[in-house]
Amino acid sequence: MRRYIAVAMIIPMILITACGSSTDEKSTDAVSPGESGNDRIIEEIEPESDENPVVEMGAGAEENTSHSEEVTQEDPHEIYDRFIAGDEKAVYAPTGADETYYTMSACLNKGEAYSLDEIITKLCDQVEPEWEVRPTVGETEYDYIDCGLDGVEELRVGLNLPIENIEMFYVQMIIKDFAGELRICYDCDSWSRSSTSISPTGFVSLWGSNGAASHVCRYSFVDADGVWKQWYQMNVDHDIFGQYYTYDPVNYKVLDFSGLDYSGLAIESYEFVDNPDSPKNI
């Protein structure tokens, strides 16, 4: 109310001034015909420009757009999470493996895609006849690793598939995303006499049984391209039975120990790969 009372008092003063002198420059400020005093006063009180609110709204819009882009950015783990949930399949495309009992190479077809449940079922189908017991499907473990340390993560999956009261089996695989297609690059199995571990960088370490009187230690890795490469292996052989075959798959040699007391003999052989760029294919 105080604002409108003040306006009512000012209007007569303006009108009186306009009538007093027709030559007074201030008369040009008089209220023009058809324009009320209230309108003129209110117009002078109101802001002359509304540019600031427009600028503020524009900045807010840019902020919202930037925020929207961040929200819609795809999660690189999403496709791996779908595989674990059973909503995505992975193509069996191995470049190497360390298999003893659970052998994906014997129950999966190269180039075909399988869900996690399908892989588990086929592995159990493969092992059951040999043990005459259906494996128990235990907990599925998984984590993200960075093979080759290139900043692009792969998925390591661990399957607990024991034969209850007989043998504890643990199957692992490394899965890589190739532009929206998941591929199983490497797999291995562990049991009571043989253990294989996969590090957060894709380094693979195996130590265990290589036969009734033989042990093996093998170091390998999966690189940033999803390729398995072996660079070191050691074999320890006990109970030599007269002949020993060196571990060269092409130019192997036979060592003859006939006539010697080899009852306490053990042979260690070492293999180093200087340039592990030609992966062992299975």
- 181-231: per-residue pLDDT in tens? 999 999 999 999 999 999 999 999 999 887 767 889 999 999 999 999 999
Question: For residue 73, what pLDDT is reported?
Answer: 62
Cα–Cα distance between 141 and 186 in angstroms, integer? 16
Q: In a structure prediction context, what are the per-residue pLDDT tens digits for the chain, which is 282 residues long?
A: 434 334 444 434 443 344 444 444 444 444 444 444 444 444 444 455 455 544 444 455 455 544 444 444 678 899 999 999 999 999 999 999 999 999 999 999 999 999 999 999 999 999 999 999 999 999 999 999 999 999 999 999 999 999 999 999 999 999 999 999 999 999 999 999 999 999 999 999 999 887 767 889 999 999 999 999 999 999 887 766 655 666 565 677 777 777 777 777 778 888 888 665 544 433
Kindly report the pTM of this predicted structure: 0.68
Per residue, what are the HEC states of the chain?
CHHHHHHHHHHHHHHHHHHHCCCCHHHHHCCCCCCCHHHHHHHHHCCCCCHHHHHHHHHHHHHHHHHHHHHHCCCCCHHHHHHHHCCCCEEEEEEEEECCCCCHHHHCCCCCEECHHHHHHHHHHHHHHHHCCCCCCCCEEEEEECHHHCCCCEEEEEEECCECCCECCEEEEEEEEECCEEEEEEEEEEECCEEEEECCCCEEEEEEEEECCEEEEEEEEECCCCCEEEEEEEEEECCCCCEEECCCCCCCCEEECCCCCCCCCCEEEEEECCCCCCCCCC
Question: For residue 99, what pLDDT is reported?
Answer: 93
Question: For residue 4, what pLDDT is reported?
Answer: 39
Closest by CA position to 220, among listed 98, 112, 106:
98
Closest by CA position to 8, among listed 40, 37, 46, 31:
37
Question: For residue 57, what pLDDT is reported?
Answer: 46
Name the token pair of 180. 């929206």
Question: For residue 75, what pLDDT is reported?
Answer: 87
Cα–Cα distance between 155 and 226 in angstroms, integer? 11
Residue written as tokens 């690059």? 185
Question: For residue 128, what pLDDT is reported?
Answer: 96
Name the token pair of 46. 């109101």
Residues forming a β-bridge with 170: 160, 190
Question: For residue 244, what pLDDT is reported?
Answer: 63
